[in-house]
Structure 1
Amino acid sequence: MERLVEYVPAKEVGVAACSRRAGPYQRQVERWLKLAVDGKQSAADCAAVRRFQTTHGIHPNTGFAGPATWGTMRLLAARAHPNAAGRCPVRTTRTVCVDLDRQLMWVQTGANVTYGPVAIRSGRPGYATRTGTYPVYWRHKNHWSTIYNAPMPYAQFFSGGQAFHAIYDNIYSVVGSRGCVNLTYSDARRLWGALRKGDPVHIWGRRPGA
């Protein structure tokens, strides 16, 4: 499993002590942990966030409420029933569901989830991942992007140059992709085995901040 790396303020890099700063997802994390929701960091908040980070292998575990911490909570909340809101169409055939709002994806056949949910990284401002329904039209296991001169392992294309593929970067990076749906290497490898050419991909929502 890939290491989960949390972003922390520059002045706190390498500091082992509990973070004194409120993170960008302070309120969401406080709500998840059933703490007083005020958007301010306290010693009790930091200790609770730090325990969560330690339990789920998030480094550094300084109690800073950043994107990796909130993303992990969001993923855990979706695991039991990712399509609870009914945004992804339920078909008798295999369907790939991509939720840009929550930065999650999964595969379902009927109401049965056969893969995921897993965390994704979609398009940054100016490079939005296109919404709608598209077929997987080309798969290339060891693809290399000639446009960006970069590897795209386990690439599965669904709309023009946009594809699912693995990245070697942090999946919770605050910088989005250039339109593709990025996954961790292990998740992309498993998705390669889960899909076939022609499978429909249904995408909705918008990446936060994009």
Structure 2
Amino acid sequence: MKRITGRIARRAGIAAGLTSLVLPMTIALGAAPAQAASCNVTTGPYQKQVEKFLGRPVDGRQSLADCKAIQAFQAKHGITPAAGYAGTITWRTMNTMLQQRAAGTNPNKDRKCPTNKGRIACVDLTRQLTWIQDGARLKYGPVPVRTGKDGTETRTGAKKIYWRSINHWSTLYHVSMPYSQFFDGGQAFHSTTKSMWNPPGSGGCVNMTSRDAKVYWNLLRNGDDVFVYGRKPGT
């Protein structure tokens, strides 16, 4: 009887060991669906506008498919939290994109940027756009930019480029600022790897894609005019 009892105990111990191996695997496998289901399925205040922008059925009610589409947009442009909620920042970003598209090839239609200065770089903070014009003739752009956030806004008014540094390093923010062209104190045009629609914005500089910053570097010189106007949404 003792031998039988010992065998039963050993078998029970083996079974318990196998169970201890299986349970963590079950928990780990169960964690993935929970993480994948972290979409915010609450209807947001800008639900219809966001659905229309993304080409989703416009019914004003959040669905899991809506949420995943919004999440993808948020992740692409660094909007946090990327929970798929149709909130203020997400719609503000989309609305800015719509205004940029509407500008087309005539961004200075309202003549807010001076046309009597010759070569000039214009920055419209409201639409987050910049372009270079010669008189009234468009030379380059318009292209999207990422300007100063609330508290470190890009300053408005008439400026001039006074210093250029192609491989500039910021001692203030400890970041690389390629193709820097300074026009107002420490504020400059320069390239960045961030999305142009990444909130909340820069420390005051006019961020550009590498391609656009290179074109600006080749088209502008010290002494060229810069005109900044408007107000960035959210500032």
Q: Could you say whether these structures have the same fold, taking a TM-score greater than 0.5 normalized by the shorter chain as the test?
A: yes
Asked whether the equivalents of residues 25 and 70 of structure 1 are also in contact (C-alpha less than 8 Å), the reply is: no
Paired with 1:89 and 1:27, the residues of 2 have a C-alpha distance of 38
Tell whether the 8 Å contact from 1:143 to 1:154 is kept in structure 2 after alignment.
yes
Q: How does 1:23-102 map to 2 (within 5 A)?
A: 40-41=60-61, 66=90, 69-91=94-116, 93-102=118-127
Shift of 1:71: 3.6
| Counterpart residue number, 2:12 | none
Closer, same or farther: CA 118–15 of 1 in aligned 2, 3 Å: farther
Report the Cα distance in structure 2 between the residues aligned to 1:199 and 1:107, rounded to whole angstroms: 11
Once residues 115 and 182 of structure 2 are traced to their aligned partners in structure 1, the CA distance between those partners, rounded to angstroms, is 22
The change in CA–CA distance for 1:207 and 1:92 in structure 2 (over 3 A counts) is closer
CA distance in 1, matches of 2:208, 2:184: 17
List alignment gaps of at least 5 residues for structure 2.
1-34, 79-83
Name whichever structure is richer in strand by fraction.
1
The answer to whether the 8 A contact 1:167-1:183 is kept is yes
* TM superposition shift of 1:59: 8.0
Q: Which runs of 5+ in 1 are unaligned?
A: 1-13
Q: TM-score, normalised by structure 1?
A: 0.72
Superposed CA offset, 1:19-73 (max 9, x none): 96666765666787999999x3567xx5xxx7xx99xxx789xx97635543432
| CA contact 2:150–2:200 (8 Å) conserved in 1 | no
Report the counterpart of residue 7 of structure 1 in structure 2: none
**How many residues are matched?**
188
1:138 aligns to what? Answer: 163
- The answer to whether the aligner puts 1:113 opposite 2:138 as a matched pair is yes
Between 1 and 2, higher relative CO (CA 8 Å, sep ≥ 6) is seen in 1
Identity, in percent, stands at 46
Question: TM-score of the superposition, structure 2-length normalised?
Answer: 0.65
Q: Secondary structure at the match of 2:199?
A: coil
**What root-mean-square deviation, in Å, do the aligned CA atoms of Structure 1 and Structure 2 show?**
3.6
| Largest Rg, 1 or 2 | 2
The 1:132/1:28 distance shift into structure 2, 3 A limit, reads farther
Report if the CA contact (8 A) 2:121-2:226 is conserved: yes
